[in-house]
Amino acid sequence: MNGSTFPRTLAAAVFTLVLATGQGISHAAPDAQFRPAFQLFNQASAGDKGAVDAAADAFDALLQAEPSSPVLMAYSGASIAMKARTTLLPWKKIGFAEDGLATLDKSLALLTPAHDAIGQHGTPASLETRFVAASTFLAVPDFMHRGARGSALLAEVLASPLFAQAPLPFQAAVWMRAGAQAAKENRVADARRFFEQVVQRGAPQAEQARAALQGLPS
């Protein structure tokens, strides 16, 4: 398992979300508490190993206050999984990854129709939970056998009627992740279509999408 890149691909997806305003269901953490944890999460995903433990601790604290929140549980699981790249010890890498994936599985099991309501930063809780899980599943090494589940969850998010109602930064994050996965699978036309949507909609990730488009084979 490559400690320096393990789940770095998440940075092109869920960690590039621009926080929107809005509160939602009772299981959502107050924005004043969620925002700093989310910022630590972004820093960790961008390669700041010093922020990984801080992000995991922050989301663990939020989750203890709202243990029934699938969104907070998903971020907690993804944070734990990121710890796999903070150690050189193979058994610790595997332990962190497996613990994080198990927590993500629990977050998905919590989802009910009630979680279609707004959760954190204006996004339906069910979509964000699935997206965080999908991004992590697609980022872990193939031998952990989560790729198919990650692809299925990503497809569910894209196909959901709620997706069109989600904030543009979240939509663009999903398109960026879908585009990256399509490019990885040599589905160039699909990758181009996802990246072009980001550019055409003028999302915060537009420059990132343009760079991704330039990197696609002609």
Report the distance separating Cα 123 and Cα 110, nearest Å. 17
Q: What whole-number distance in Å separates Cα of residue 14 and Cα of residue 125?
A: 13
Residues 6+ apart with CB under 8 A from 168: 201, 203, 204
pLDDT at 201 over 60: yes
User: pTM for the full model?
Assistant: 0.87
Q: Is the pLDDT reported for residue 123 higher than 50?
A: yes
Greater confidence, 12 or 74? 74
Q: Which residues contact 29 (CB under 8 A, 6 or more apart)?
A: 37, 62, 65, 66, 69, 72, 120
Q: Cα(8)–Cα(31) distance, rounded to whole angstroms?
A: 25
* Mean pLDDT rounded to a whole number for the chain: 88
Q: Which of 42-51, 77-86, 101-110, 147-156 shows the lowest per-residue confidence on average (mean pLDDT)? A: 42-51
For the chain, the helix, strand and coil percentages under 3-state DSSP, each to the nearest 5: 70, 0, 30
**Residue 107 vs residues 79, 153, 180, 200, 206: alpha-carbon distances, Å:** 13, 13, 24, 33, 30
Query: Percent of the chain, pLDDT > 90?
Result: 78
pLDDT tens profile 47-96: 898 899 999 999 999 999 999 999 999 999 999 999 998 989 999 999 99
pLDDT on residue 27 = 60
Evaluate whether 172 touches 201 at the Cβ level (below 8 Å).
yes
